[in-house]
C-alpha cells in the first residue's frame, strides 16, 4: 500500500470512530422521541452533551488534522497527494471542509450556543403554549445575535446568511436562493388567487380512521417502496422523523391522526423516502464523507419525491386506492379514484407549514427565508417579526393567523438556532422536480408501471443516481450528473403548472 493510501486509511479509521459516535448520538435522539421514560430527560440531556463533546473532540483532534494535512493543504485546499482516486480526492476535500467548519467556532462559542439554544427551545415551548411572542422574543434576539456571530466566524463573501445556508446546503447562496424563491412566489401567488374561487370536495378524507388499520396500510406502502425492515423499523412520536444512525439502522416514526386519513400516509412516504436514501448509502465507505448524504436539500428531494411525486400521483393510487378501500371496508365505496385524487391534491391556504398542500407549501418556506435573512442582515428586528409574518401571510396566502402559535411561533427551528435550514425544504422540491424529468425520460412508461404497484424501478433509479454517490459530489454536480443538465429551478414550476392545470383552472 502506498504512503498516500496508508494515510487515507488512517483518516478513514479516525473518521469512522467519530461517525460511530454520531450514530450512537442519533440513536439516543431516536429513543428520546419514542420510548424513553419522561423522567430520564435530564440525564439523557447529559448523555447527548457528553457525546457531542466527544464527537467534536475527535473531529477536531490534532491527530486528525495532521493526517489530513498530509493529503491536502488545509489553508489553500490544494491536494498534496498525487495518487488518490477521484472518489478519494472528493472525500479528502469534504473532510477538509468539515474540519474547517468544526474548527471555525471556538469551543466556548459552541458551548454558549448550545446552552442558549437549549434554554430558548424551552422558552419557545412555553411561549407557544401561552401564545406569547413576548416571552420568546428576548431568546430569539440572542439567537439572532449569536447566529450573526456564527456567520462571522464561519466567514462569507457577500452576505452573512451565505455562511449559515452553507452549513445545510453547500453550493447555494442567499442571492441565488432569493432569485429562485422570488420567481416561485410570483408564480404561485397568482395561481392561488385563481384557485381560491374553485371548490374541491375532500370531506370523505376525514372522520374516524382505525389506528391499527392505518398502521397496516403504512406497512404495505413501506414494503412496496422497498423499505428494508431488517435495517429499520416504524414507531410513533409526536413529531415524525427519520433517524439515520447508520446505513443498517435507519428507523422512521409517524403519528397516527385519528381523524385524518392522509396524515400518516404522507408522513410514511416522506420519512420512508429519507430512510431509503440512508439505507442506500455505500456501506463500504461508511465513516468517510462518501458514505454520508449529499446535503439537506438533496435529502429533502428524496422525501418529497416519494411524498408528492409518487404519493400524490394518480398512477400510485390506481394500485393503492383499491387496497385502501379494502383496508377500510365500506368507508370509501362511493368515492371514485378521480375524486380521491383531486381531494388529496386540494389546494387551500392554511396557517401551519407542516400541514400545507403541495402548492402553498413553498410560500410558507419563503416567508421564513425572507424573515431570517432580514433578521441576520439587520433590516428588521426581532420585535417586528410577528407583524412582518402576518403581513407576508396576508400578501402571499391571503390569510392572517389569529394567534402567534399558528403564526410565527409554530416552528422549533429558530429556537434551536437553525438559521439557514428552512430553504432546504423548498430546494428539495425543486431538486426532485429537476431529477424527475430525467427519470420520466428514462422510463416513459413510468405511470403505467407504478399503477401496477411496482416501485422497485423507482428506488433503483434513485439508488443509481443519488444514493450510491453519498457526498462524493456537491448537490449541483450530483443534479447535473443524474440528469445531464445543470440544475434548472423551472422544472418545479413546470411540474406544478402541468399537474394543477388539470385539477384547477390556473
Nearer to its own copies, 134 or 283 (CB): 283
- Selecting among 271, 278, 358, 372, the annotated active-site residue is 271
Residue 251 parent element (H or E): strand 249-254
Kindly provide the b/e burial profile for residues 268-287, where b requires at least 16 CB atoms within 10 angstroms of the residue's own CB.
bbbbbbbbbbbbbbbeebbb
Residue 506: all three cell numbers together: 390556473
List residues forming the annotated binding site. 270, 274, 300
DSSP 23: H
- What gap in Å lies between CA 165 and CA 423, rounded to an integer? 8
| Min dist. Cβ of residue 471 to its own copies (A) | 19
In 35-85, alpha helices (H): 41-59, 62-69
Residue with cell 439502522: 249
Nearer to its own copies, 95 or 227 (CB): 227
Cross-strand bridge partners of residue 252: 234, 242
Residue 437 phi/psi, 5° resolution? -60, -40
Q: What residue ranges bind its own copies (CB under 8 A)?
A: 17, 20-21, 23-24, 27-28, 31, 35-40, 42-44, 46-47, 50-51, 54, 228-233, 235, 245-246, 248-249, 251, 286
CA distances from 386 to 148, 218, 369, 437 (A): 21, 38, 15, 39
Nearer to its own copies, 1 or 42 (CB): 42
The alpha carbon dihedral of 467, 468, 471, 474 has a sign of negative
| Min dist. Cβ of residue 244 to its own copies (A) | 12
Nearer to its own copies, 228 or 377 (CB): 228
| Min dist. Cβ of residue 286 to its own copies (A) | 8
Nearer to its own copies, 31 or 141 (CB): 31
- What gap in Å lies between CA 394 and CA 371, rounded to an integer? 15
Residue 271 designated active-site:
yes
List residues forming the annotated binding site for Zn(2+). 270, 274, 300
| Min dist. Cβ of residue 264 to its own copies (A) | 20
| Min dist. Cβ of residue 53 to its own copies (A) | 9
CA dihedral 135, 140, 142, 148 (to 10 degrees): -170
Residue 448 parent element (H or E): helix 446-450
Active-site residues: which are they?
Answer: 271
Amino acid at each position: 500500500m502506498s504512503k498516500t493510501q496508508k494515510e487515507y486509511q488512517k483518516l478513514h479509521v479516525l473518521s469512522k470512530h467519530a461517525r460511530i459516535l454520531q450514530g450512537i448520538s442519533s440513536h439516543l435522539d431516536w429513543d428520546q422521541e419514542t420510548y424513553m421514560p419522561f423522567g430520564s430527560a435530564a440525564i439523557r440531556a447529559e448523555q447527548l452533551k457528553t457525546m457531542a463533546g466527544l464527537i467534536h473532540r475527535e473531529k477536531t483532534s490534532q491527530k486528525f488534522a495532521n493526517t489530513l494535512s498530509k493529503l491536502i493543504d488545509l489553508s489553500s485546499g490544494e491536494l498534496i497527494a498525487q495518487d488518490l482516486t477521484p472518489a478519494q480526492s472528493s472525500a479528502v476535500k469534504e473532510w477538509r471542509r468539515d474540519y474547517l467548519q468544526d474548527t471555525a467556532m471556538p469551543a466556548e462559542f459552541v458551548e454558549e450556543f448550545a446552552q442558549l439554544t437549549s434554554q430558548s427551545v424551552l422558552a419557545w415551548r412555553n411561549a407557544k403554549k401561552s401564545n406569547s411572542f413576548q416571552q420568546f422574543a428576548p431568546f430569539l434576539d440572542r439567537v439572532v445575535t449569536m447566529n450573526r456571530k456564527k456567520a462571522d466566524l464561519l466567514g462569507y463573501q457577500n452576505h452573512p446568511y451565505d455562511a449559515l445556508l452553507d452549513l445545510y446546503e453547500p453550493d447555494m447562496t442567499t442571492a441565488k436562493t432569493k432569485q429562485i424563491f422570488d420567481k416561485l412566489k410570483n408564480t404561485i401567488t397568482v395561481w392561488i388567487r385563481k384557485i381560491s374561487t374553485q371548490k374541491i370536495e375532500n370531506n370523505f378524507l376525514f372522520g374516524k380512521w382505525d389506528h391499527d388499520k392505518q398502521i397496516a396500510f403504512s406497512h404495505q406502502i413501506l414494503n412496496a417502496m422497498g423499505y428494508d425492515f431488517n435495517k429499520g423499523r416504524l414507531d410513533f412520536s409526536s413529531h415524525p422523523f427519520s433517524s439515520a444512525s447508520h446505513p443498517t439502522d435507519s428507523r422512521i416514526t409517524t403519528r397516527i391522526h385519528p381523524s385524518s386519513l392522509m396524515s400518516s400516509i404522507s408522513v410514511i412516504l416522506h420519512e420512508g423516502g429519507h430512510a431509503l436514501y440512508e439505507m442506500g448509502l455505500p456501506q463500504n465507505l461508511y465513516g468517510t464523507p462518501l458514505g454520508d448524504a449529499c446535503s439537506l436539500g438533496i435529502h429533502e428531494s428524496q422525501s418529497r419525491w416519494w411524498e408528492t411525486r409518487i404519493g400524490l400521483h394518480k398512477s400510485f393510487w390506481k394500485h393503492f386506492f383499491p387496497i385502501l378501500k379494502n383496508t377500510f371496508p365500506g368507508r370509501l365505496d362511493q368515492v371514485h379514484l378521480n375524486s380521491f385524487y383531486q381531494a388529496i391534491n386540494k389546494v387551500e391556504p392554511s396557517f401551519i407549514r407542516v400541514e400545507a398542500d403541495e402548492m402553498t407549501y413553498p410560500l410558507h418556506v419563503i416567508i421564513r427565508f425572507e424573515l431570517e435573512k432580514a433578521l441576520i442582515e439587520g433590516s428588521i428586528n426581532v420585535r417586528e417579526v410577528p407583524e412582518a409574518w402576518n403581513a407576508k401571510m396576508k400578501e402571499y396566502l391571503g390569510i392572517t393567523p389569529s394567534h402567534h402559535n399558528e403564526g410565527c411561533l409554530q416552528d422549533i427551528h429558530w429556537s434551536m438556532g437553525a438559521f439557514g435550514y428552512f430553504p432546504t425544504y423548498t430546494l428539495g422540491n425543486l431538486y426532485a422536480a429537476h431529477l424527475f424529468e430525467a427519470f420520466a425520460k428514462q422510463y416513459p412508461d413510468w405511470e403505467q408501471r407504478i399503477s401496477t404497484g411496482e416501485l422497485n424501478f423507482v428506488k433503483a433509479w434513485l439508488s443509481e443516481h443519488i444514493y450510491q454517490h453519498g457526498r462524493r459530489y456537491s448537490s449541483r454536480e450530483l443534479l447535473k450528473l443524474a440528469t445531464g443538465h445543470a440544475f434548472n429551478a423551472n422544472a418545479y414550476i413546470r411540474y406544478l403548472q402541468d399537474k394543477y392545470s388539470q385539477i384547477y383552472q390556473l
